[in-house]
A and B are shown apart, each in its own frame.
Chain A
């Protein structure tokens, strides 16, 4: 297995023609490549399901593509599984595997592409598909302790609005259940943390920290306490209703998700949004990114108990929230994006106020960064803590600032430009140490870059409309993507004959990075655990949907 071991530098572009030729040469009749539409640049239809693991390994390791995710759809006559890969600079590659509805087992690609591990577990829990060769299925989204076997809630026959007290879903904790622990030592035990987080205010996460007393040997996360089946609720709803869902399942990155969703719908409708709307979207997305990163910096300072820095960063974040509210009418930028553009326009005075607020925020962050660099007690707790080396980051397909701190300078705004980003100038920060301090530096740099992008967006604004009406094409499907603050997010939409949503799939960056978190973090001291969590800055709600 050849590995392109070095992290992908953004200038390395993968040519699709060369890739198609290589695939055809190697796999011949097993794969039928074709030009893609609906968002993907290249589609590869698998004629033989057995060649799937080898093809995925070839794409991921030999050709250097990154892994996007797995989209499982239960159509009227067959299953369709799409394995999405990204060829840097060229676009998305969709590897499509079709199975008859009666067939239940799929060859697992987790042994080759480790980043697919959780996607396959999710599909098994929600759809009941068995992935041959996956080492551990089950007890993922539907916790074995309370859910009985054999429940596959995303399958078609289920109704989405089920009475909560229906007997079929009655659940009681299973007294025989035991967690699957890894450390085999007679004196080892697993300390439970959560789901009502003992550290104050936190999201509903559950960890089992396996230890023999001194260091934590392994952290076993049990997520999906916040699973609300957003993808299932979306089925049968209109596009504007699903837009509300897309905004609200992960509110701290709500604009990015609504942007990806809107781009997907616009791709279905083949619509070009007005130029002013493009620039406004960039402005709002970068505003959200700046605010989100400030929140992450606040979280890191809080976790290391540097109280003054945490307070100052929290003030900056609150100022940005207030600026967002003053500018757009909602602190978290709800209700602005819509397929076809932006729902409202802004006056010059609004831009002026926003720029003032952003500049103040950026200046405060710069002062903060300058002083944190010289606070040795703070750096001591961040350096060499939670290290993810570049090879592991590549292996586990980390995205976003976490990936960039470990040498993976991937950014959808640069590699697969969307929404007008190809005309903007900005740097992608990249560090190689992969420790907590590298992640913090990446956050600061990106915040600065976002402020620069906001300035550029305002300068490029020309008077014009901000909305073009969008006519929904029935039976369309498309992929939409955006670089959310935490990383790359993909939204896939398939509409049925009457224009309602038949399948809505959201692949979120937190889902990717949580897999990387638990596999990359081993052997740490108890007191470093909240710090590692804070430096990763992951969102449980975005992962759980």
Chain B
């Protein structure tokens, strides 16, 4: 039966296929037009399909062809997939609108747009297939296609300036992750009849604890490669920096989420973990990832690399929330588990939106000035005023400042960690407290980082030697960024509309509803509603929680943290009311200021700098100086290898230069990659002893192997 969901999905595949074929066949400027038009339509269709599924609350399922040995390929768009599909559509829309400007203007037509278009559509199709696959082979095949297509898109620009080795690293890590995921699925499917997800779920209940741990760990590490978790995320900063500006938003906004999707699908849908251990592991890994990510982001001066580290931080927060959810569910507290999972999904969507905005903004900055180094920028607010406003919105969102979206999801995450008070085991509670402290530190460092980013690039005076280049050409260049900024604002101001939608995905996975405890129905509650005691409703109505009930749909505008009987509400907030109150207060203040200073005149004179003739850029604060305290305080983590401090002189007392050179290796490289690499080298050296070139020995190897096989046959 053709539903809206099914129809939209079908149309999506049709348009995608058409786009691919048309752009492959066309010549001249047509591939670019096809790319823009078809890609925009495809992303809108993605969002439409997701919205349709979430609105009706029914999953859509269809069977594709049957392959011998691998089973039947099924497509299923359930609630969880719908949310991820919506997020992907949100990111692909501005990416599609920007692509023409980028490929034509920046590259100047050096590389054929046709190649890009083909890869773009193929990637889009594979992403949707991953999200809607309902059996393991289709899932794995589309995952592998996605990895390879990412590699091709990353190495789209082949010039001496770019770092093509980064692509190899990404490919290698993707393959390693993929192998881990395949092994996980193999373990999972050992006892089941066929490979569809439903059969796997049934088989999973018979797995031993060891097997469950094995599946969890392999899946965590394997999907963690794409999601950017410690210890498998060392490829991420380098590769995000090397990827072309048009592709990075897709990398950060879409493929990162696929990692989360994999982890969620594996752990909440396929296997339901029975012990606390797996959840705690995820929580701890997530917290450490977040802290490491933000530390490196705060001390990084290249904007793209800094945003890559920040993506690692946000991935850590999402995974920490997922871990908390698993712990709660394993302990039997379904409602906190639902809240935690809601927080994770909310943060995932928010991250997609503001990270795309920031990456796109950085791409614009690089196109306008030619540099990404924060130490060389400064004063951009004069030259790029529209961009400075949107970028500010992005920075505020990612720094979790109300009324933007980052605040709501970080608040929810920290709140659900605080709910660990209901757990029984004190050790677990302590771990939750420590991880909560870790995430709080992360949030504080994030504010530092993005204050530095915005102020060093946009405010102050110009520090580098660049001159601002002309305006970008293309379709309404500011529209995609404005659209993302408005999305940031809306997601932040209207959480009570987003949470029920996310709840539809969370409820089947966890078995409890989050929205009833997070978003009480102040607008629709009747005295007969037993969910909420009338005295409770009375209090909130006196505070004005019903304001707007006649005009606005939905349950209410207040987000709560519920407590025990004696203390029913621990915390309540309402970004919607806050934003209205903020607007009123700001307006009132503005009126007061204008009226009281009416008689004064404002004279603008030049900057006061102690009386020196001119304030030179060398005399203003740099990004390095701003973040130096962080570098010094956390020196034990950064552990710089060499800090050379050579002082050159002409005469003994006369210094001409003080040179400072600082070499650091990333923490993850130091602790994981290098030891693993050394172990692998050592093992390879050991094995190399076998390759000595003597033919007799090789024949002996063959003989020995033959004997071993015969013995094995004999035994079995």
Contacts and interface: CB of A to CB of B under 8 A. Distances in A.
Interface in B638-661: 650-660
B interface bracket (residues with beta carbon within 8 Å of A)? 35 or more
Interface stretch (B104-112, B128-136, B404-412, B616-624): B616-624
Contact of A182 (B611, B622, B653, B657): B657
A67 B510 CA distance: 86
B629 A218 contact: no
B373, B609, B624, B657 — most chain A CB neighbours (10 Å): B624
Contacts of B657: 182-184
A474 interface: no
A187 B625 contact: yes
Interface string A162-194: 000000000001010011011111111111111
B615 interface: yes
Contact of B628 (A146, A206, A213, A396): A213
Given A182-B658, A194-B611, A189 B620 contact: yes
Interface in B593-646: 609-616, 618-629, 632
A380 B619 CA distance: 30
Given A179-B616, A192-B609, A196-B610, A135 B656 contact: yes
A111 interface: yes
A41 interface: no
Interface string B357-370: 00000000000000
Nearest to A173: B613
A212 interface: yes
Contacts of A183: 657-658, 660
A395 B629 CA distance: 35
A114 interface: yes
Interface string A210-224: 111110011000000
Contact of A212 (B616, B653, B660): B660
A145 B613 contact: yes
B650 A135 contact: yes
Contacts of A192: 609-610, 612, 615, 619
Given A187-B301, A189-B620, A217 B611 contact: no
B269 interface: no
A25 interface: no
B618 A213 contact: no
Nearest to B373: A186
A309 interface: no
Contacts of B375: 186-187
Interface in A289-343: none
Contacts of A217: 658
B656 A181 contact: no
A interface bracket (residues with beta carbon within 8 Å of B)? 35 or more
Contact of A135 (B612, B626, B651): B651
Nearest to B374: A187
B625 A211 contact: yes
Contacts of B650: 111, 135
Contacts of B623: 187
A190 B653 contact: no
A208 B615 CA distance: 12
A214 B618 contact: no
A151 B626 CA distance: 41
A313 B160 CA distance: 69
B651 A173 contact: no
Given A211-B625, A214-B628, A184 B658 contact: yes
Given A208-B619, A213-B626, A136 B654 contact: yes
A542 interface: no
B651 A187 contact: no
B619 A191 contact: yes
Given A145-B613, A185-B660, A198-B610, A213 B625 contact: yes
Contacts of A214: 628-629, 632
B652 A114 contact: yes
Contacts of B620: 189
A187 B653 contact: no
Contacts of A110: 651, 654
Interface in A372-400: 395-396
A138 interface: no
Nearest to B660: A185
B619 A188 contact: no
B656 to A, nearest CB: 7
A396 B653 CA distance: 9
Contacts of B622: 186-189, 213
A73 B692 CA distance: 86
Given A178-B616, A181-B618, A195-B612, A218 B656 contact: no
B611, B623, B627, B629 — most chain A CB neighbours (10 Å): B611
A173 B609 CA distance: 15
Given A175-B614, A211-B625, A190 B659 contact: no
Interface in A102-140: 110-111, 114, 117, 135-136
A395 B610 contact: no
Contact of B610 (A187, A195, A213): A195
A93 to B, nearest CB: 23
Contacts of B656: 135, 182
B625 A114 contact: no
A378 B181 CA distance: 64
A196 B611 contact: yes
Interface string A514-541: 0000010000000000000000000000
Contacts of B660: 183-185, 188, 212
Nearest to A213: B628
B610 A189 contact: no
Contacts of B373: 186
A217 B643 CA distance: 14
A143 to B, nearest CB: 9
A105 B628 CA distance: 46
B616 A188 contact: no
Interface string B439-471: 000000000000000000000000000000000
A123 to B, nearest CB: 17
B624 A213 contact: yes
Interface in B659-675: 659-660
A111 B658 contact: no
Contact of B651 (A114, A146, A212): A114
Contacts of A186: 301, 373, 375, 622, 624
B658 to A, nearest CB: 5
B643 to A, nearest CB: 11
A179 B612 CA distance: 12
Contacts of B610: 192-198, 206
Given A187-B625, A214-B632, A135 B654 contact: yes
Nearest to A210: B658
A459 to B, nearest CB: 46
B664 to A, nearest CB: 14
A395 B652 contact: yes
Nearest to A519: B653
B601 to A, nearest CB: 25
Nearest to B662: A185
A185 B375 CA distance: 11
Contacts of A197: 610
Interface string B16-56: 00000000000000000000000000000000000000000
Interface of B: 301, 373, 375, 609-616, 618-629, 632, 650-660
22 contacts: A114-B651, A114-B653, A135-B656, A136-B654, A179-B616, A183-B660, A184-B658, A185-B660, A189-B619, A189-B622, A189-B625, A192-B612, A192-B619, A195-B612, A196-B610, A196-B611, A212-B660, A213-B628, A213-B629, A214-B629, A218-B658, A396-B653
Identify the 9 closest CB pairs spanning chains A and B, nearest first: A187-B624, A213-B628, A213-B625, A173-B613, A196-B611, A135-B650, A114-B653, A185-B660, A111-B651
Given A192-B610, A195-B612, 8 more contacts: A114-B653, A135-B651, A135-B656, A187-B623, A195-B610, A195-B611, A196-B610, A213-B622
Interface of A: 110-111, 114, 117, 135-136, 145-146, 173, 175, 178-179, 181-198, 206, 208, 210-214, 217-218, 395-396, 519
